[in-house]
Amino acid sequence: MSNTVQNNIEVIVNTRYLEEQSEPEDNQYVFSYTITLRNTGKQPAQLESRHWIITDANGQIQEVRGEGVVGEKPLLRSGEEYQYTSGAVIETPVGSMRGSYQMIAEDGTKFDAQIPVFTLSLPNILH
């Protein structure tokens, strides 16, 4: 689990290897990640877009940009949280993800909530 708090938006990440969807013989490793966003500030903020940087053990980088998350642009009021699950496919049994959410506060201020670097790995492959 990884977490960080920036601009009063806490980001908590949990990952899971999806063995049933992976094809190691074809260099296809599938992972899910569950993100919990929590507004620890006093001002409401809405998630507008996301930017992911996904890196596998071979150094291959995928960048993903898009509106919202899982088709939504959640508004987080003070003390509220939002959780969603999505996935990533990489070519190696170990990799990492990091990124940011582009947010807009109720007063119109735009800011980024950083997503901490987190590891994607098969169970028991890393110590």
Of 3-7, 64-68, 91-95, 119-123, give the lowest mean pLDDT range: 3-7
- The pLDDT score that the predictor gives to residue 126 is 62
**Mean pLDDT estimate for the chain:** 93
| Interval 54-74 mean pLDDT | 97
DSSP per-residue letters across 53-102 = EEEETT--EEEEEEESBTTB--EE-TT-EEEEEEEEEESSSEEEEEEEEE
- Split at pLDDT 50, 70, 90, the class of 124 is confident
Q: What is the pLDDT of residues 4-50, one digit of tens each?
A: 555 799 999 999 999 999 999 999 999 999 999 999 999 999 999 99
Q: Determine the straight-line distance between the first and last CA of the chain, rounded to whole angstroms.
A: 14
Show the domains of the chain with their CATH numbers.
2-121 (2.60.40.1470)
